[in-house]
Amino acid sequence: MVNLDKFRDSKIAKNLLKKIDSLVTSPLSFMEVCGTHTVAISQFGIRNALPSNLKFLSGPGCPVCVTPISEIDHIIELGEKKDIVITTFGDMMRVPGSHSTLEKERAKGRDIRVVYSSMDALNIAEIEGDKKIVFVGVGFETTSPTVAVTIRKAKEKGVHNFYVFSRFKLIPPAIKGVLEMGKNRIDGFLLPGHVSTIIGSHRYDFIPKDYQIPCVIGGFEPIDILHSIVLLLEQFKRGRFKVDIQYRRSVKEEGNLEAIKILEEVFEVKDTDWRGIGRIKKSGLELKARYNFCDVDKVFKVKIKQSREPKGCICGEILMGNKLPQDCVLFGKKCTPHSPVGPCMVSSEGACSAYYKYDVPRTNTEHHF
């Protein structure tokens, strides 16, 4: 058991902030890819404690936020079919589609249920054999291995009324997409700890090799994040860039080999669409042919109405690091956590939600560690 108290020690934090201040000699922009990092940076006041010439941009690391609106529409249309039960994680319920949300559809009488895992959905399928149970598969490399295990379990048990709407995405190709299509200069990456626990560090090697940009895989406590920033800045000072691992209590260079094995057994890589970025090659996961029996795309035919993005919403630009939440004219006015317009305000890991909850009310000097 790791004692997390030391990762919130104010004395250590202040020393790290002094170190950061001494290392920042010119304006720099770092991107935190993971939504959990975005929340932590805001929650602990780290953004406001950093030197004014060191900026953090949020990246495409919130799985709910990068799910295209057409896929929300697809799920809603699917839920209108007879005897279908939609099961999903709670943060998908309020994400606006073109015409409705899962929450609103449930209020109309659709059978839409919140589950805590894909195994919960499989259990429902076993109990309610007369219904077709669809699990909404949205997430990154952290979530997809658990769903792969569930799919394999469904096959072993012979459960034929369990289906997966596979829209899982892969983080390294998304980072490449941001670098290829982004408008802002990114001087360094704070890479996701949870995803990297699964895939390891080597899948990011292309970033320092091809783009000469330093990377650090960081943990989520205040000291983790501040230490990661120091490691990024020290790479600048040395002029030699690599993928460093700060979060060594969880991440190994090779990753979790068992999780990778089950992913490769159940899924294969495909091109897929990311909200705000567009189609990225080899960035998604679809079920292999042997699992077609539970693949929503293979079993159910759905005609989707024309999808449309909400007027004025700039979630796509925020996910690319091109703009900040407060650049949006809807932010904090028409778009709030109580009445969200875009996904970045809905998800607990969304940049707009984090900025609204933690950054806006604070002064430039307040931090919480």
Locus of tokens 């490399």 = 141
- With respect to residue 17, please indicate whether it lies within any of the assigned structural domains: no
CATH number of domain containing 284: 3.40.50.11740
- With respect to residue 13, please indicate whether it lies within any of the assigned structural domains: no
Whole-number average pLDDT of the chain = 93
> What's the start-to-end Cα distance of the chain, in Å?
21
- With respect to residue 117, please indicate whether it lies within any of the assigned structural domains: yes
What is the rounded average pLDDT of the residues 160-173?
97
For residue 341, the SS3 value is: coil
Tell me, yes or no, whether 280 and 330 share the same domain: no
Residues 67-98: tens digit of each pLDDT: 999 999 999 999 999 999 999 999 999 999 99
What is the rounded average pLDDT of the residues 174-179?
93
Q: Which of 345, 362, 363 is nearest to 354 (CA)?
A: 345
- With respect to residue 6, please indicate whether it lies within any of the assigned structural domains: no
Tell me, yes or no, whether 158 and 249 share the same domain: yes
What gap in Å lies between CA 268 and CA 264, rounded to an integer? 7
- With respect to residue 105, please indicate whether it lies within any of the assigned structural domains: yes
Tell me, yes or no, whether 280 and 333 share the same domain: no
Tell me, yes or no, whether 257 and 342 share the same domain: no
pLDDT above 70: residue 365: no
Could you say which DSSP state residue 307 is in? P
What is the rounded average pLDDT of the residues 199-207?
98
Environment class of 100 (CB within 10 Å of its CB; exposed 0-12, middle 13-18, buried 19+)? middle
- Output the pLDDT for position 7: 87
What gap in Å lies between CA 285 and CA 170, rounded to an integer? 8
| Domain count for the chain | 2
- With respect to residue 8, please indicate whether it lies within any of the assigned structural domains: no
- Output the pLDDT for position 348: 85
Tell me, yes or no, whether 322 and 224 share the same domain: no
- Give the confidence band of 363 by pLDDT, cuts at 50, 70, 90: very low
Tell me, yes or no, whether 255 and 321 share the same domain: no
- Output the pLDDT for position 2: 64
**Where would I find the beta strands (DSSP E) of 171-309?**
188-191, 215-217, 243-245, 267-274, 278-287
What gap in Å lies between CA 214 and CA 244, rounded to an integer? 8
Tell me, yes or no, whether 34 and 177 share the same domain: yes
Instruction: Please state, as a whole number, how many other Cβ atoms lie within 10 Å of the Cβ of residue 149.
Output: 19
What gap in Å lies between CA 143 and CA 220, rounded to an integer? 18
What gap in Å lies between CA 286 and CA 289, rounded to an integer? 9
Tell me, yes or no, whether 50 and 94 share the same domain: yes
Reported as type and span, the H/E element at residue 321 is none
The amino acid occupying position 73 is D
- Output the pLDDT for position 360: 67
pLDDT above 90: residue 182: no
Tell me, yes or no, whether 46 and 141 share the same domain: yes
Residues 16-64: tens digit of each pLDDT: 999 999 999 999 999 999 999 999 999 999 999 999 999 999 999 999 9
What gap in Å lies between CA 25 and CA 118, rounded to an integer? 48
Residues 104-136: tens digit of each pLDDT: 999 999 999 999 999 999 999 999 999 999 999
Tell me, yes or no, whether 161 and 304 share the same domain: yes
- Output the pLDDT for position 57: 93
Of 293, 312, 331, the residue that ends a domain is 312
Tell me, yes or no, whether 241 and 325 share the same domain: no
Tell me, yes or no, whether 303 and 324 share the same domain: no
Which residues constitute the domain of residue 345?
A: 315-358
